[in-house]
Amino acid sequence: MSIPEASARSFWQTYNTRIAKKILAEFCHERYIRPVELSPGEYVVHSDDRETEYLFRAEVLSLESWLIDEMSLRRIRRGERLRVDAVDLVIDLGGSLGIAREALPEYLEEFTNTLAISASRPDTRRIAAADLARSDFQTIERTMTEGHPCIVANAGRLGFSVDDVERYAPESGATFALRWVAVWRENCDFAAVSGVDYDRLVLEELGAETLAGFDDTLARRGLDPSRYYYMPVHPWQWAEKIARIYAVDLVEQKIVDLGEAPDRYQPQQSIRTVFNTTHPARHYVKLALSIVNMGFTRGMSADYMRTTPAINDWVRDRVRDDEYLASIGFEMLYEVAAIGYRNTNLDDLTRPGSEYRKLLSALWRESPTRLVNEREQLATMAALLHVDHLGTPLVVAFVRDSGISVREWVRRYLRAYLHPIIYLLYKYEFKFSPHGENLILVLDSGVPVRAILKDIGEEVSIFAAPEDFPESCRRSLVEESDSIRNMGVLSDVFDDFLRHLAAVLHASGLLADTAFWAVVAESVLEFEQEHRDLDDRFARWDLFAPTFKAIHMNRLQLSNNRRMVNLGDSYSTLVDSDHELVNPIAGYRPVVDRAESMEVAVS
């Protein structure tokens, strides 16, 4: 179905203006841009050459969150009013944003691709919020348009052609089959959590008939199936990388092409992860995909595959019998097995971290479908920030369907999401990256009742470990001072996600920003009162601290769009020591200071 030209132009301008607003809001938040206030609530930003003005109305909410009225946004150049264009905005402010001139074209490519995801979407793929709120898990997943809430160029997909986007990008809603290969065991690292073995895994993932067909393919070539592992490959990765770079391995039959397996998969927001739509209870599959997307080349190394299940196993053993997590229904989706292929020539020529070591790997993660009953609905937590093509936030539809007050809805949401994240950090000293895409909410009639965390092996930071901590898990072990430990909540939850949710609710008129943070403060106090055994840690890693240091996500991407963060670096290296954010719940600190009450108890 083609889009009427007028409709296409209308959507392009709608989303163009939305992203222009996000550019201004996020770069003001990161203090790249410092608007001049002309009168109360009226601001101007000048282009680098001082020839163009961007005028707009805005409220500055908690955490320096700029809520810009997009209808007020105007672009004036030498007295002439021009159409607001997000690409022109980036060019006009490129110097202020710190983008080197030689890097600007590639950044613009990523940015324009991000814009096109929303603006070029056909009418048939646009779903009104009221309908989307009652949709199934994968319909919600493929309807998301916002991407990472902090990062402006969050869906660059450098390397994908326009046809690849249609085939393999989540917003297309397409499903596809995975390519499977047999890989020489001597060149592979296969690892699994306790209780999972290779033979059972591939039987459950492929089925007996497909598995027997793969064995026959090898036997017809005179090859012994027991000398090989079977592994899935993303079809783009196969065509663009494996079939060419590993041509010698293919000739030598260290890699054997087995063709497609019958199951169909839908790409998720984290584009290299796919969901089995033929058999939803089968595992997610995460695959090496050597495109540049949101600050990283999305390959996966055999080095990481060797240790990822061990990290999952260790984390699972720590929390498996936790009564509190069980009582609130909190779950983790564990990466149960992983495999990575090593090309000996490329390994000899490169160092760990090289993209040439990240070409052919896969892992299997548990599916969330087994964790819900017929009444319950799965939805990516990113959905809470989604605004439909008509301007209606999806969270508004969830609240209306719930039949409860917005304050009560937020309270229940925080119990499901915020409480277990605080608990994991303060009880076990595990810090995750719990932004929207990494969490799945379980809803019942629009009400959040539980949360499910995923992406364990790559995202977990372990701050403390026993003396017998396994060497295979050591890459997740980090050392951070107490002074920034609370940023696992204040930065990673408050600034990276709740700041945006507060703005959506404030703009919709459902709940004012100050009222939202009052509910958050109340929820944190409720949690602390329920867990008095952690009082010493609440005092040391203070969630009511007056301020905390900012982390500038766009600045990290602009400094290196292919490796935004060095995963081996300390968390503290990411913070901006010159930028302190005011903690929006600091004013709700209990009247009797916790440290003082502890001293009284001791005396």
**Strand intervals (E) in 314-406:** 331-332, 335-341, 361-365, 376-380
Helix axes 418-428, 513-530, angle to 10 degrees: 40
Helix axes 499-508, 394-402, angle to 10 degrees: 70
Is residue 18 within 8 Å of residue 4, measured between CB atoms? no
Tokens of 211: 């598995």
Q: Which residues of 500-519 are buried (b: 16+ CB within 10 A; e: fewer)?
A: bbbbbbbbbebbebebbbbb
- Residue 11 to residue 394: CA distance in whole angstroms: 18
Tokens of 401: 């369907």
Strand 331-332 and strand 335-341: pairing? unpaired
Which domains, and CATH codes, for the chain?
Answer: 5-130 (3.30.310.280), 175-368 (no CATH)
- Residue 173 to residue 268: CA distance in whole angstroms: 9
Strand 447-453 and strand 331-332: pairing? parallel
- Residue 140 to residue 18: CA distance in whole angstroms: 20
- Residue 158 to residue 165: CA distance in whole angstroms: 10
603 pLDDT above the threshold of 50: no
Is residue 284 within 8 Å of residue 366, measured between CB atoms? yes
User: Looking at residue 8, what is its pLDDT?
Assistant: 52
Higher pLDDT, 557 or 467: 467
Candidates 584, 364, 394; CA nearest to 490 is 584
> For the segment 319-377, what is each residue's pLDDT rounded down to a tens digit?
999 999 999 999 999 999 999 999 988 888 988 889 999 999 999 999 999 999 999 99
In the chain, pLDDT over 90 holds for what percent of residues?
A: 76
48: Cα separation from own chain's centroid: 32
Under the banding of pLDDT at 50, 70 and 90, the label for residue 575 is: confident
Mapping DSSP to helix (H, G, I), strand (E, B) and coil, where does residue 210 land? helix
User: Looking at residue 600, what is its pLDDT?
Assistant: 35
571 pLDDT above the threshold of 70: no
Under the banding of pLDDT at 50, 70 and 90, the label for residue 573 is: low
The H or E element containing residue 189 is strand 188-192
> For the segment 57-70, what is each residue's pLDDT rounded down to a tens digit?
999 999 999 999 99
Under the banding of pLDDT at 50, 70 and 90, the label for residue 100 is: confident
Supply φ then ψ for residue 523, to 5 degrees: -70, -40
- Residue 569 to residue 576: CA distance in whole angstroms: 15
> For the segment 168-193, what is each residue's pLDDT rounded down to a tens digit?
999 898 999 999 999 999 999 999 99
Find the mean pLDDT for residues 472-481. Answer: 89
- List the single range of 94-103, 236-245, 282-291, 338-347 with lowest mean pLDDT: 94-103
Q: Residue 375 class from Cβ within 10 Å (0-12 exposed, 13-18 middle, 19+ buried)? A: exposed
Q: How many CB atoms lie within 10 A of CB 429?
A: 19
Is residue 571 within 8 Å of residue 478, measured between CB atoms? yes
Is residue 442 within 8 Å of residue 378, measured between CB atoms? yes
- Residue 37 to residue 43: CA distance in whole angstroms: 4
**Torsion sign (Cα): 195, 441, 381, 328:** negative
Find the mean pLDDT for residues 553-558. Answer: 79
Rg for the chain (alpha carbons), in Å? 25
Is residue 385 within 8 Å of residue 436, measured between CB atoms? yes
Is residue 168 within 8 Å of residue 236, measured between CB atoms? yes
Is residue 500 within 8 Å of residue 489, measured between CB atoms? no
Average pLDDT, the chain: 91
- Residue 500 to residue 63: CA distance in whole angstroms: 10
Is residue 407 within 8 Å of residue 519, measured between CB atoms? yes
- Residue 404 to residue 443: CA distance in whole angstroms: 13
DSSP-assigned letter for residue 387: B
Candidates 446, 499, 421, 529; CA nearest to 150 is 499
Tokens of 345: 């020539």
- Residue 422 to residue 218: CA distance in whole angstroms: 50
User: Looking at residue 563, what is its pLDDT?
Assistant: 55
HEC string for 485-552: HCHHHHHHHHHHHHHHHHHHHHHHCCCCHHHHHHHHHHHHHHHHHHCHHHHHHHHHCCCCCCEEEEEC
User: Looking at residue 148, what is its pLDDT?
Assistant: 86
Is residue 86 within 8 Å of residue 111, measured between CB atoms? yes
Find the mean pLDDT for residues 101-110. Answer: 84
User: Looking at residue 593, what is its pLDDT?
Assistant: 55
Candidates 410, 385, 583, 594; CA nearest to 490 is 583
Higher pLDDT, 146 or 209: 209
Tokens of 428: 């076990």
pTM: 0.93
Tokens of 243: 């079939």
With tokens 């929303």, the residue in question is 118
Q: Which residues face 65 on adjacent strands?
A: 61
- List the single range of 260-269, 295-304, 508-517 with lowest mean pLDDT: 295-304
Higher pLDDT, 574 or 410: 410
